[in-house]
Amino acid sequence: MAGGRRRGRGRGRGIRFSKLYSFSCIRSSLREDRSQIGQKGYTRVVYCNDPDNPEAVQLNYRGNYVSTTKYTAVNFLPKSLFEQFRRVANIYFLIVACVSFSPLAPYSALSVLAPLLVVIGATMAKEAVEDWRRRKQDIEANNRRVEVYKNNSFCVTKWKDLRVGDIVKVYKDEFFPADLFLLSSSYEDGICYVETSNLDGETNLKLKHALEETSSLHDEKSFQQFKAVINCEDPNEDLYSFVGTLSYGGTPHVLSLQQILLRDSKLRNTDYIYGVVIFTGHDTKVMQNATDPPSKRTKIERRMDKIVYILFSTLVLISFIGSFFFGIETRKDISNGKYRRWYLRPDDTTVFYDPQRPILAAFLHFLTGLMLYGYLIPISLYVSIEIVKVLQSIFINQDQDMYYEETDKPAHARTSNLNEELGQVNTILSDKTGTLTCNSMEFVKCSIAGTAYGRGMTEVERSLIRRNDRPHEFGDISSDFQGDNGDVDKGKSIKGFNFRDERIMHGQWVNEPHSVVIQNFFRVLAICHTAIPDINEEGEISYEAESPDEAAFVIAARELGFEFFSRTQTCISLHELDHKSGRKVDRTYKLLHVLEFKSSRKRMSVIVKNPENRLLLLSKGADSVMFERLSKEGRMFEAQTRDHIKRYAEAGLRTLVLTYRELDEEEYKAWEEEFSRANTSVAADHDALVDAACDKIERDLILLGATAVEDKLQKGVPECIDRLAQAGIKIWVLTGDKMETAINIGYACSLLRQGMKQIVITLDSQEFDVLRKQGNNEAIAKASFESIRKQIMEGNSQLSSTKENPVSFALIIDGESLGFALNKNLKKSFLEVAIGCASVICCRSSPKQKALVTRLVKMGTGETTLAIGDGANDVGMLQEAHIGVGISGVEGMQAVMSSDFAIAQFRFLERLLLVHGHWCYRRISMMICYFFYKNIAFGFTLFWFEAYASFSGQPAYNDWYMSFYNVFFTSLPVIALGVFDQDVSARLCLKYPLLYQEGVQNILFSWPRIVGWMLNGVISSMIIFFFTTKSIIPQAFRRDGQVTDFEVLGATMYTIVVWAVNCQMALSINYFTWIQHFFIWGSIIFWYIFLVIYGSISPTVSTTAYRVLVEACAPSVLYWLATLLVVISTLLPYYSYRAFQTRFRPLYHDIIQQKRSEGLEIDDTRNELPSRVRDKMHHLKMGLRRS
């Protein structure tokens, strides 16, 4: 593969990576303990190329058939019915439907059963359609084709027929059908390239390599004699770990993740591979990860459940009241042998009305009442909310203002359950790298031999200058040239390289005083990495690297004269600029070992032999581990380099220290023997032995300098954070960066603002440095705990002292201190300080700490939390928060796959919360309140009529009137409200972010507001019943002098109910579309159409509705007059209340609406409002400022 890896080649003879040791497979936090093979959790035995072995058959492993469906043809009906009747309301209606077949029912059984069947059937149909789609995907996957080795040749079979131990052949661009152990590939040394985007979303290719012992297996003949046994871990979900051994040729060989090819990942840039099936079907790691995400329920849903219970209680109460009075009236009907209501024939009755047994009659009436007043419980509420949330999610997905054209990624609501929760977020917990920043690294500065190089100014530096008004603060770092304005060259832009300094560019470094050190510095950048050169057809070289940082280093070395262009199995080749001749020369370095980066090591090294036959160890890593490894002679530039690193961190840059040392032959040989023993060990302390061996060689290093790369802020981040802060949302940043870097990034992105006081909690002091050197861990822990406790108390004191004069605070804490602050004895007081601050920055945070902090905020405050991140290390935080938002960035898609909502850029969070969150919260709140209002208004007319009819249990309306009330006559306007209504436009939502506080404080779904809507329903029912009866009963209803009868009263009252609740909806809506007009007025018109059609059916079916509109109601002027006057009277209380509230106690959206209607654009509403409102707004803003 000389000259790099070329696209479109045939079988390659490339890098023999099996010769190199790599840590890249060790990414899991779990220890790979090979001594546990055969013990619990590590019992799997795979007989390679021998699946019919009796012992293999006896193990009875799962087949490769995969099913992701929730239901089967057998269990669909019982399981889906169980899902439906987990809801209390549905159980109630089912019981009512069953009892309606008895004489207790006040209406026909079919009229109760039909709406229940419609609602349940619609939901079950939706479940069936979704499950059938999953079923079709399963069928397609299970019937894919793959070549399997049988009877000494390869033949085609289906995926679902594979067995553990089979040998398969997978071709380029095909998916792996199961979890495979890589035997060999089209490359001579058994390497292959794998794309894992289906597993973790990462699109960069992963390098896998076979064991040297199996890499020669390339044809059918070689497999005839191949027999081996794999002992490995049992099926588990860890994608980044594999523990196992291969027994082949009488020798055990250690297996790692580098030999494992996971199902649903794809073979790329490799013609074919051979592999042994290890895990099949649901035992594969991708299927082990296919678990349901944590169940999340919104605050509104939980409160809605409580309201349903209240309505159930109300239902029982009014049923009891009705049965109580019914019992009293029934007992009075026979007194001393006299009949009071003789027309009821109390001497000839059934058990349902028996003056001799009034208590039993009252109890049975109670049961009748439970059915009669069931319309208090909205049967279509749940299904309506589901429909509305799905439609809201579609609008979120299609919002063009949250579409990121550069990556062609729109916003995506991965769940519709949490839409309204977006409008109630109190605290945002955010990752930094890749979330606030681009995670697209650019090499911008470096320190070599104590001299700072690199012109230009970072965003953070500009922010610092604006903040401190000190334009020359960074003069010695940004440029050594007076008058430099920091602008970059106008030449060709190079991704990953934004370095400008004439002193070392274009070969000028040869004239610098320390040119040899500079040469070694760039050689380290060009050699110490695991990147792969990729040469396209035009001959241009690009690099595939494991991280953006590494790619930036290799590109920087190339641009400064040290071009890495080829990598073979044992060599790395560079085009170098020779500092003596000034010409480009080709130099090849023999690659002996690669000790890759590991999070616990915080460094990587390579051992090479240069053309002069000298052995060199080249190393780069974090300053916290590299400076302590320097030799006495290698510290010449340490003081200057430390100072530069500090300045770079303050400028928001990520730094690495570069070092090297020369090895003598004897030392290297002795170390190589020890390293080889550690590497091939199968003992429990395998990893510890390898780390110890690496530690021995990575010592006595000579300092060359430090690099500084910039991870630029994403576009619009400062403005977004500033607006979210104006909305009263507290923002926490949880990052792995140093404190200096995090603080200055905080200023650059407006997280920290001018005039904001800082509370810093840290253990970075000389006192603790002395304790650490003494090595007394117990004393360190005790002193650290006490120090953190004191700092937290001091922070509390600062917050308390400024209560009278509100000042914004920011809390900054490092990872070590955070570990103690999360202690059970301190976390409560730590949280008190944190929630008293407007911004919180947690530096050097581990993924576990991120999740723990999120849980602390969620549980400790009880407020809605939102976590946002882009990497696998953010998954715990996203799943712990009430809402998880994933950024579809360059770190892969794991955060997105674990999130509830996905966006491409942080700035879209502003629109997601302040616009869609506010709208969804308002819509769902209004929708639920209105749902309960309309059902109470309707249900209580039944109660008033029953009281009017001596609690006889007689319903006021026809059976089908009642059945269709929630399904046809009032449901569609509510859905339109939940989907389309807007109190203010998207532009005004963003212009007045304080409007968002209506959701945070839950103003629109507070108990007073809920009770107010319920009370409005009761008042409406009273007005409808009493005004209707008093206006039409005492006088002639028709021209022929006939008075109102039962059928006419019911039809008239029902007409008024339909008009009133739909007109109430019209009053509540702020933003009309043609759809809302169509649904509201269409529902009313449909009532008349229904009444005509239903009334024309035989009276045995239509009963009390028979021709009631055509012959009785429509010809009567009184019917239309009563409808008009009673509807107006019903709407007056709500209209009067809203008029009073808007004028004297307006909500924030009322103020904006008022000014908008007057054609005014306001920047400060306070001076335009009544004094009471101004005071309210002032207190709200002061409260937000304190928080």
**Which are the catalytic amino acids?**
431
What's the burial of 44, exposed, middle or buried (CB within 10 Å: 0-12/13-18/19+)? buried
Nearest Cα to Cα of residue 431 among 909, 890, 886: 886
The two tokens of residue 678 are 């550690």
The residue type found at 998 is E
Q: What residues pair up with 562 in beta bridges, in sequence order? A: 576
Strand order in the sheet with 562-567: 451-453, 437-448, 702-713, 653-663, 615-621, 603-609, 584-595, 571-577, 562-567
DSSP secondary structure, 404-472, as one string: BTTTTB--EES-STTTGGGG-EEEEEE--TTTTEEEEEEEEEEEETTEEE--S--HHHHHHHHHHT-TT
Q: Which residues 6+ apart lie within 8 Å of 599 measured at CB? A: none
Nearest Cα to Cα of residue 524 among 703, 318, 745: 703
- 289 near 239, Cβ under 8 Å? yes
SS3 1169: coil
- 173 near 278, Cβ under 8 Å? no
968 DSSP 8-state letter: I
Reported in sequence order, the residue ranges of 510-652 that DSSP labels E, i.e. its strands, are 532-535, 541-544, 562-567, 571-577, 584-595, 603-609, 615-621
DSSP secondary structure, 760-825, as one string: EE---SHHHHHHHHHT-HHHHHHHHHHHHHHHHHHHHHHHHHTSSS---EEEEE-HHHHHHHTSTT
Residues across the chain: 1187
Place of tokens 């049992």: 234
Residue 839 and residue 1120: Cα distance in Å, rounded? 62
SS3 63: coil
Residue 784 and residue 197: Cα distance in Å, rounded? 43
Q: How distant is the alpha carbon of residue 348 from its chain centre?
A: 68
- 194 near 208, Cβ under 8 Å? yes
Place of tokens 């012959």: 1111
- 541 near 535, Cβ under 8 Å? yes
Place of tokens 């550069």: 406
Tell me how far CA of residue 1187 lies from CA of 224, 400, 753, 799, 862, in angstroms.
73, 33, 14, 10, 15
Q: E strand or H helix at 887, and its extent?
A: strand 883-887
869 phi/psi in degrees, rounded to 5:
-160, 175
Q: Which residues 6+ apart lie within 8 Å of 625 measured at CB? A: 601, 602, 603
Can you list the pairs that 1168-1175 forms with residues at least 24 positions away whose Cβ atoms lie under 8 Å? 1170/1144, 1172/1144, 1172/1145, 1173/1144, 1173/1145, 1173/1146
Q: How many CB atoms lie within 10 A of CB 167?
A: 24
Residue 903 and residue 553: Cα distance in Å, rounded? 29
Any idea of the CA torsion for 491, 495, 496, 501, to the nearest 10 degrees? 0
Residue 1172 and residue 1165: Cα distance in Å, rounded? 13
